[in-house]
Amino acid sequence: MSEILIKNANVCDPAQGINCETMDICIKDGKIVESVSANAKVIDAKGRLTMAGGFDGHTHSAGKINVGRFINPNDARKNLVPGLSGQVARTEKTRAQVGYNTPNTYAIGYRYAKLGYTTICEAAIPLLAARHTHEEFKEIPILDKMGLSLFGSNWQVMEYIRDKEPEKLAAYIAWGLRASRGYGIKIVNPGGGEAWGWGKNVSGLYDPVPNFDVTPAEILLGLAEVNERLNLPHSVHVHCNNLGKPGNYETTIETMKLFEKVKPSRNRQALHVTHVQFNAYAGTSWRDFETGAPMVADYVNGADHLTFDLGQIIFGPAVTMTADGPVEYANARMLHEKWSNQDIELEDASGVVPLFYSPKNFVNSVQWAIGLELALLVKDPWKVMFTTDSPNGGSFVNYPEAFTYLMSAKRREEVISGFSKTALDRMVLPGIDRELDFYELAVMTRSTQSRMYSRPEKGNLKPGSDADIAIYDILPEQIDPSTEYEKVKKAFSGAAYTLKDGEIVVKDGEIEATPKGKIYWVNAKVPSTIDSAMQKDIDVKFRKYYTVSKANYMVEDMYLQRPVEITTEGVF
Amino acid sequence: MQVVKLSLKEANKIPIEADEVNPDNFAGKTEEEIKAIKVWYGNDQYHLGDFFNVKVEGSDSVENTKIVFEGDVSRVKRIGQNMSAGEIEINGNVDMHCGFGMKGGKIVINGDADNWLGCEMTGGEIILNGNASYYVGSGYRGESCGMRGGKITINGNAKDYLGEHMCGGEILVKGSVGLLPAISNNGGKIIIEGNATMPASEMKSGMVIIKGETFDLLPSFKEEGTEEFGGVTYRKFTGDVNVGGKGILLIK
């Protein structure tokens, strides 16, 4: 029975419509409650900005990031954001930390917590490599974790879609989520991962996948139908076709339109489009490359069936890592960079390429602007999730820096003043004077995520919610983020307090405690007759093609630390 | 002029990480202060004076400070790391990472040097009067740039991967080198007076001159006539075409 009373908190909690109001927060046994007894431990927030713990809904923090570590041993010594990167010796409370874009697992936990984040969603778990992902999850302290399982280029998925067997497909997805202990359906360049196995790619929504006679559009809609049939807490999470190619904004809008007819089974979006910055490019080549953000934002402003995240880039070194194999090949060739390429057997492709975003490079400058344009041109912040697609656009430790871009036009001007004229001609950012306030920032970093992932106990401070709380050293009434962005950045870089399940994990920017986080996974119920019919099909796959047996494939309970099983009932 | 003489009290088996041993840290310091400089030994920190006899003559600025190691220091790593000026003389063999990230000044080694000599140096000079091991003037693992400036002269032989990922500066080897010298080069100049095997693979720019014999020249180099260097005419190759490189390789 532990009780905490946070006094004089200046609370910003969009889920309850609270916009920087001074109030007290009561915590009992790791949950937020209406009131506590007189024995409660008191934390005096002294009028400082208080939000629910941050929720990063799209990050690469376990699994593939390990390949990034292999090919970038030099990342271990990078210290571009002092206090949140580089080599830190172990202390009594923390283990040794290294790295910047690809830090070790412990550093990921500590650093997110320092930023006031308490939950992360790993954006891509290949079913075949899910055991490894969960092994890394186990070693990421403090944070609650969930992961999205990759289904977009999966043989069994494509066969069921081709053969029009939606029930078996639903059974397969439910099994796949169970096998990987995943939280939702991730689709990366639908069909492209399989095409890459033949050295090819798919060029758009209606370009058939080699040997499977299905199109990316059919894959998307087939999986969306199953997603809603199974009542999954998250919508399909889509990395569109043609990522990183000039002119791809058209494919992005086309993909969004495709989902207008999908009816969500829960009170959430029907589609989440991820790291849209990489998918909002206009022009026909890198020569006439320009922003496509206004067109995408226009469409999003008129639609209410989707959410998206930014994939904002941060100038400096980054490591791209994606299941989009052909994109990584193109990156490596264009940039003469190191390249890791993997074939995930029957399931997908994968690639890792380190790169450097330079403000001197006009393409990079425009990419930087596109992310911010998307955030600022889309009127409703509830449709937007803030991400850098860490570490694809840049490491998450730069979030505070990126917040200043969103909150201060002056800060943006400062960066833009270093751009070339060519770059300025290709972007619309200089004409945008919108500045987010703390309320909107809280929406993009917490509240949207809570709704998007159907996790009502996360990302808000309602009684009954998890007591994951961040207090930042900012007095909202006395600060003008538009001019005092350095203060904003400093405050968000090291929370005055981060509480996780009612325990103080960060105090004055330093780690206080390192409890183990929970793992959320979805167990979707499917009638046993359909399941056993589906099992026969995958048994053939295991016998004929997989390098592992089914028994060695499943993520078993022993891999999960503090698992939280979310059960859903499918409609059959 | 300040001269600091260091001699090992007894030969050590576990390496000493002497990354603080450079003229920048010694200049103007007394014998006691230098003895108190911390060095890693295994997983613990000790004082320099625990391992070395220290003798200081005079006191002067960094430029006018000379450190002399009397005798073999073949288990002392990172001597002269990040030094910006002054001189180090080593009268014996030296362990790995000597002159790592050196910015200026001079290191003279009267013995052999272990791996990673002059790794990532940006200026200054290293003269090795003995043989070098692997990865002379190369980059930290994973970096795209190794040595960026300065000069390394090796009066003996060197082993494999000489000047890996070099981006500038000069390496002169009087003897022969092992496999794959100048691999992934992106600038700078390497002169090998002896023999070399499979030179300049994945070279993007820079220049490599091999005065001795070249074994297993890679097929990914284009022959483009001849070029004179130092009064001698060499066959000129450019490449490595595998990476669209425009490096120049001169061989006999």
Which of A78, A101, A336, A338 to substitute to test the interface with B, most B CBs within 10 Å?
A336
What distance in Å separates residue B167's CA from the closest CA in chain A? 15
Query: pLDDT tens digits for B54-91?
Result: 999 999 999 999 999 999 999 999 999 999 999 999 99
Chain B residues with CB inside 8 Å of A71's CB? Answer: 142
* A71 touching chain B per CB within 8 A: yes
In contact, A192 and A528? CB cutoff 8 Å? no
Burial bucket for residue A166 (CB in 10 Å: 0-12, 13-18, 19+): middle
Q: Which residues of A touch B244 (CB under 8 A)?
A: 336
- The shortest C-alpha distance from A397 to chain B (Å) reads 21
Residues 305-344 in A contacting B (C-alpha not used; CB under 8 Å): 336
ipTM: 0.87
Residue A128 contacts residue A344 (beta carbons within 8 Å): yes
What is the reported pLDDT for A1?
54
Nearest partner of B171 among B160, B161, B163, judged by Cα: B163
Question: Which of A71, A74, A336 shows the shortest C-beta gap to B243?
Answer: A336
If one counts the domains in chain B, the total is: 1
Please indicate whether, in this complex, the C-beta atoms of A74 and B143 are within 8 angstroms of each other: yes
Determine whether the interchain pair B142/A74 forms a contact, defined as Cβ–Cβ distance below 8 Å.
yes
**CB A240 within 8 Å of CB A271:** no
Q: Which residue of chain A is at minimal alpha-carbon distance from B203?
A: A336
Q: Are the Cβ atoms of A73 and B141 closer than 8 angstroms? A: yes
Q: Percentage helix, strand, coil, to 5, in chain B? A: 5, 40, 55
Cβ distance A336 to B204 less than 8 Å, yes or no, reads yes
Q: A18: distance to nearest CA of chain B, Å?
A: 48
Please give the sequence-ordered ranges of beta strands (E in DSSP) within A18-169, or none if there are none.
18-28, 31-33, 41-44, 49-52, 54-59, 117-125, 144-150
**What pLDDT is attached to residue A490?**
97
Cβ contacts from A onto B, under 8 A: 15
Residue B220 lies in domain? 2-251
Band the pLDDT of B218: cuts 50, 70, 90: very high
Q: What is the pLDDT of residue A223?
A: 98
Contacts of B71 (CB under 8 A, 6+ apart): B7, B8, B91, B92
Tens digit of each residue's pLDDT, chain A (572 residues):
589 999 999 999 999 999 999 999 999 999 999 999 999 999 999 999 999 999 999 999 999 999 999 999 999 999 999 999 999 999 999 999 999 999 999 999 999 999 999 999 999 999 999 999 999 999 999 999 999 999 999 999 999 999 999 999 999 999 999 999 999 999 999 999 999 999 999 999 999 999 999 999 999 999 999 999 999 999 999 999 999 999 999 999 999 999 999 999 999 999 999 999 999 999 999 999 999 999 999 999 999 999 999 999 999 999 999 999 999 999 999 998 999 999 999 999 999 999 999 999 999 999 999 999 999 999 999 999 999 999 999 999 999 999 999 999 999 999 999 999 999 999 999 999 999 999 999 999 999 999 999 999 999 999 999 999 999 999 999 999 999 999 999 999 999 999 999 999 999 999 999 999 999 999 999 999 999 999 999 999 999 999 999 999 999 999 999 999 999 999 99
A76 DSSP 8-state letter: G
A71 with B141: Cβ contact below 8 A: no
Please answer whether residues A530 and A518 qualify as being in contact, where contact means their C-beta atoms are separated by less than 8 angstroms. Answer: no
pLDDT digits 0-9 by tens, B90-142: 999 999 999 999 999 999 999 999 999 999 999 999 999 999 999 999 999 99
Task: Calculate ∠ Cα A54-A57-A61, nearest 5°.
Answer: 95
Interface probe for A, chosen from B38, B44, B81, B144 (most Cβ of A below 10 Å), is: B144
